[in-house]
Amino acid sequence: MNIPRTSFPRVVIIGGGFAGVALAKKLSKQEVQVVLLDKNNYHTFQPLLYQVSTGGLEPDSIAYPIRKILKDFPNFHFRLANVEEINTVENKVLTDIGELKFDYLVVASGAETNYFGNSEVEKNSMAMKTIPESLNLRSLILENFEEALLTSDLHERNALMNFVIVGGGPTGVELAGALAEIKKGILPKDYPDLDTRLAQIHIIQSSDCILKGMSAKASEKAEDFLEKLGVNVWKNVRVTNYDGKIVTTNTDLTFETATLVWAAGVKGATIKGLNAGDFIYRGDRLLVNEFNQVKGFKNIYAIGDIACMVTEEFPNGLPMMAQPAIQQGKQLGENMVRLIENKPLKPFEYHDKGAMATIGRNKAVVDLPKFKFQGVFAWYVWMFVHLFFLIGFRNRMVVFINWVYNYIRFDREARLIIRPFKKKLKS
């Protein structure tokens, strides 16, 4: 990999997401050599992926070059590499561009979509975990309407205009809200010769409420907002299969659709060598102690979504969200300095800053530790927080300008089929 050995200990970080970047920044001025490996050369701001899928934002405005984030730091190396295996005996990682020895390894590889073993759903549904996947979804949504215009078969036309989202978490709710706004504000203008009132948006949730991790009030209000926008919310319904045309469930309900978006679960993005054993915990996450050390290892750590840190309050592990990832990255950075200075490590403590979701224009729900509110003010708070955490001044400006423009014009101008997507290409 052409990375020189120096007298400093080498910390290899796998993943330039929220956790990996927070850690690398903390270590940037310390006497360590940091090597960050990522299969993409950019950091993705996943909370806004649904806006890329629905033409509200360009993909570039929610991505940021990893090299640029850390460009001013000495002892920092980035390599565009897919880590294929971790050799915990010889302390090295094996990648598609070669091998690399480490003194300390930090796995920050995040999560991937969990289809719970249903291969047919995996093959036929759309995921929204990466920028390419969001672009695929954007293309498919628009292609469906182009096709709906051409067909005279009513069944086919309805299926093309029906959207089924599985999973009533923030991703599913935000996507459903955005689709409902497109249906109301954009489709009638773009497709005047198509009866777009027939387009349907469904959310299917296996439990008895949406936004399960949030307060009862937030959940109720979000459902109310969605219903007002014309979204059909199906609770206590579990999807059992999707053959590319019909969604079957554990009830009598079936849905005919050309687009099933699977937002029903994630699991740890494990890597060979550290993907089996008693350190693999719920949802394929790596079981870590309070210092983020992977069970059984002194020099291997995991942070962010891939790490399962069990606490009294979170017996299934901390939530797979940006805040725990950022906080763990920062804390591990401080602990690594302590480690090198032979000082005792500090245990990680999660500071829950709350959760939020937007359902559409002027509609959001916010649960802060001390206050819970919904509606227009919540929507402003949601926008401010997302702008604040976006990486890069340009991205913040571009997103802000887009949002103001979209708000005033009731528009989403990134509804472009730049990279056509055909479902059959997936198989």
Ligand X SMILES: Cc1cc2nc3c(=O)[nH]c(=O)nc-3n(C[C@H](O)[C@H](O)[C@H](O)COP(=O)(O)OP(=O)(O)OC[C@H]3O[C@@H](n4cnc5c(N)ncnc54)[C@H](O)[C@@H]3O)c2cc1C
Please select the residue that binds ligand X; options are 13, 47, 52, 135, rule is CB under 6 A: 47
Site for ligand X in 303-322 (CB under 6 A): 304-305, 320-322
Minimum distance, C-beta of residue 19 to ligand X, in the bound complex (Å): 3
For residues 109 and 196, which CB has a smaller minimum distance to ligand X in the complex? 109
What's phi and psi for 334, nearest 5 deg? -65, -40
Secondary structure (H, E, C), the chain: CCCCCCCCCEEEEECCCHHHHHHHHHHCCCCCEEEEEECCCEEECHHHHHHHHCCCCCHHHHEEEHHHHCCCCCCEEEEECCEEEEECCCCEEEECCEEEECCEEEECCCEEECCCCCHHHHHHCECCCCHHHHHHHHHHHHHHHHHHHHCCCHHHHHHHHEEEEECCCHHHHHHHHHHHHHHHHCHHHHCCCCCHHHCEEEEECCCCCCCCCCCHHHHHHHHHHHHHCCCEEECCCCEEEECCCEEEECCCCEEECCEEEECCCEEECCCECCCCCCCEEHHHEEEECCCCEECCCCCEEECHHHEEECCCCCCCCCCCCHHHHHHHHHHHHHHHHHHHCCCCCCCCCCCCCCEEEEEECCEEEEECCCCEEECHHHHHHHHHHHHHHCCCHHHHHHHHHHHHHHHHHCCCCCCCCCCCCCHHHHC
If binding is defined by CB under 6 A, does position 392 make contact with ligand X?
Answer: no
Minimum distance, C-beta of residue 75 to ligand X, in the bound complex (Å): 20
Site for ligand X in 278-307 (CB under 6 A): 304-305
For residues 82 and 241, which CB has a smaller minimum distance to ligand X in the complex? 82
If binding is defined by CB under 6 A, does position 233 make contact with ligand X?
Answer: no
Distances in Å between the Cα of 238 and the Cα atoms of 122, 249, 252 are 15, 5, 11
Minimum distance, C-beta of residue 361 to ligand X, in the bound complex (Å): 17
Q: Which stretch, 45-53, 148-156, 197-205, 407-415, contacts ligand X (CB under 6 A)?
A: 45-53
174 catalytic residue (yes or no): yes
Minimum distance, C-beta of residue 271 to ligand X, in the bound complex (Å): 5
If binding is defined by CB under 6 A, does position 18 make contact with ligand X?
Answer: yes
Please select the residue that binds ligand X; options are 11, 32, 37, 182, rule is CB under 6 A: 37
If binding is defined by CB under 6 A, does position 367 make contact with ligand X?
Answer: no
Nearest-CB residue for ligand X? 17
Minimum distance, C-beta of residue 355 to ligand X, in the bound complex (Å): 7
If binding is defined by CB under 6 A, does position 239 make contact with ligand X?
Answer: no
Which x/- pattern over 97-126 shows residues binding ligand X (rule: CB under 6 A)? -----------xxxx---------------
CA dihedral sign of residues 239, 166, 161, 145: negative
For residues 121 and 391, which CB has a smaller minimum distance to ligand X in the complex? 391
If binding is defined by CB under 6 A, does position 358 make contact with ligand X?
Answer: no
Please select the residue that binds ligand X; options are 6, 31, 60, 82, rule is CB under 6 A: 82
Minimum distance, C-beta of residue 89 to ligand X, in the bound complex (Å): 19
Please select the residue that binds ligand X; options are 23, 38, 70, 260, rule is CB under 6 A: 38
Choose, from 133, 143, 174, 181, the residue flagged as catalytic: 174
How far is residue 72 CA from its own chain's centroid? 28
Please select the residue that binds ligand X; options are 11, 12, 13, 14, rule is CB under 6 A: 14
Site for ligand X in 255-274 (CB under 6 A): 269, 271
Enumerate binding residues for ligand X (CB under 6 A): 14-20, 37-40, 46-47, 49-50, 82-83, 108-111, 128-129, 170-171, 269, 271, 304-305, 320-323, 325
Catalytic residues: 174
